[in-house]
Amino acid sequence: MILHSVIFAFALLVVCVCSACTTDDECSLNGICVVSTCICDASWFGDDCGRLDLEPATRGTGYNYTTYTDPSYYNTRGNSSWGGQIIHDPQDPALFHLLVDQFAHGCGLSGWRPTSFVARAESRTGPQGPYHWVQNVTGSFRHNTYVHWSPFDQKYLLWTIGVDVPDPKSCKSVSKENWPNNISVSAAQDIKGPWTPFHITINGTNPAPWPLYSPENQTSKITLIAEDLRIFTAERWDAKYSLINSASWNTSDYSRTWAEDPFVWRDKRGHWHALAHWMIDIVEKNGTKYPRVGAHMYARTLEGEWTFKLQEAFNSTVTFTDGSVETFNRRERPKLFFSDDGELTPLYLVSGVQALGSTTTSYTLIQPVGTAWREYEAALGF
């Protein structure tokens, strides 16, 4: 009995020591530290608020047309895709758009360079979809779609990597040397276009922009974050970009902090966050299972100091509303869709996924986060 009490007390002590915080940074800047305890913002959980509170996804939602075929297709991967971004239509509250990286001609993920292009899909059944193809936004080769509304410019800005090339004649992969990743931006008043010709901003890959505009500071300034958390800023979206910071951690392959494809946002307190694909996925590298796939990085200011949390913010296992649980071979390209009430509560996580055992077929999964998405959907009548 005494021994049990001692063990119990010791366990409590350990729990308290582990979870005690002294600053909001120890709550991953996803909450506040109150009397040594992290009070997490909506959609985040854990002792340190470092985990995304993912809810069950619904099968048949997202953008999943891997069985589609067409006589012009070179392969059988259907309309495979690799993540995208949800946009709520500003005029029509019942309409949601998904700008998605799709692979042309039935080619899958392995043919991403050359066949990736940007497509726009629509859903009238809510933000989770299913989304249906309505428009090609670009031809090949365009990948890494990131779109946001720029309040200063009163325009959508569309970011991609790639070059404009003729429609590919096969799914065969093309080298980066032949077709560079040059990060480019285009603008449009309407999400349905027309889009201006792409303007190259920086050399690099995996752009993640965020306007520095706020109602209090109506600046035209913009930030653009690329691979290895290289942070650039520009006076305007189409002006010259200057490097202001780079990741302070080891970014080499197979290092503990090897990550790619950052998704960046500034939260309601003005702090900065990134979600990234924390290398590497399941069954790569000789069948090694890595118990991670989504990394979270954060900083009080854009210039840093940034913290790379060595803990998964989410992983490749997804629970579905039908009760099934699926662990994906790959789950990458994380992008959040936030509430529009000024709280920036994450409502959905969009990612590119590939089933275990699948070599190159892939699709875009949308998974709700936390609980606020329920009210968001209900208020829109879904």
Give me the least distance between CB of 96 and ligand NAG, in Å please: 16
Q: Which of residues 71-90 bind ligand NAG (CB under 6 A)?
A: 79
Contact 100, 119 (CB under 8 A): yes
284 binds ligand NAG (CB under 6 A): no
Give me the least distance between CB of 88 and ligand NAG, in Å please: 21
Residue with smaller CB distance to ligand NAG, 32 or 382: 382
Q: What single-letter DSSP state applies at residue 290? A: P
Q: Is 139 helix (H, G, I), strand (E, B) or coil?
A: coil
Q: Which stretch binds ligand NAG (CB under 6 A): 10-18, 36-44, 63-71, 145-153?
A: 63-71
Give me the least distance between CB of 32 and ligand NAG, in Å please: 23
200 binds ligand NAG (CB under 6 A): yes
Distances in Å between the alpha carbon of 72 and those of 170, 241, 267?
Answer: 11, 40, 45
Give me the least distance between CB of 152 and ligand NAG, in Å please: 11
Structure tokens at 330: 């790959």
Q: Is 10 helix (H, G, I), strand (E, B) or coil?
A: helix
Residue with smaller CB distance to ligand NAG, 33 or 128: 128
59 binds ligand NAG (CB under 6 A): yes
Structure tokens at 196: 């201006």
271 binds ligand NAG (CB under 6 A): no
Q: Which of residues 236-265 bind ligand NAG (CB under 6 A)?
A: 250, 252, 254-255
How many residues belong to the site for ligand NAG (CB under 6 A)? Answer: 38
Largest pairwise CA distance in the chain: 77
Residue with smaller CB distance to ligand NAG, 5 or 175: 175
Contact 143, 112 (CB under 8 A): yes
133 binds ligand NAG (CB under 6 A): yes
Q: What single-letter DSSP state applies at residue 16? A: H
Q: What is the amino acid identity at position 158?
A: L
64 binds ligand NAG (CB under 6 A): yes
Give me the least distance between CB of 293 and ligand NAG, in Å please: 7
For ligand NAG, which residue of 178, 219, 242, 301 counts as binding (CB under 6 A)? 219
182 binds ligand NAG (CB under 6 A): yes
One DSSP character per residue, 193-251 reads -PPPPPEEEESSS--EEEE--BTTB----EEEEEGGGEEEEESSTTS--EEEE--SS--
For ligand NAG, which residue of 167, 305, 340, 375 counts as binding (CB under 6 A)? 167
- Which residue from 119, 42, 116, 39 is spatially nearest to 375, judged by alpha carbons? 42
327 binds ligand NAG (CB under 6 A): yes
Sign of CA dihedral 13, 16, 19, 24: negative
Sign of CA dihedral 273, 275, 280, 283: positive
Give me the least distance between CB of 1 and ligand NAG, in Å please: 34
Residue with smaller CB distance to ligand NAG, 33 or 168: 168
The CA distance from 226 to 248, in Å, is 14
Give me the least distance between CB of 304 and ligand NAG, in Å please: 15
The CA distance from 223 to 244, in Å, is 10
Other C-beta atoms within 10 Å of 324: how many? 11
68 binds ligand NAG (CB under 6 A): yes
103 binds ligand NAG (CB under 6 A): no
The CA distance from 121 to 10, in Å, is 55
Residue with smaller CB distance to ligand NAG, 170 or 250: 250
The CA distance from 135 to 85, in Å, is 15
Contact 277, 293 (CB under 8 A): yes
Residues at the contact surface with ligand NAG, assessed by CB under 6 A:
59-60, 64-68, 79, 104-105, 117, 133, 136, 139-140, 167, 180, 182, 200, 202-203, 212, 217, 219, 221, 250, 252, 254-255, 282, 286, 291, 315-317, 327, 363, 365
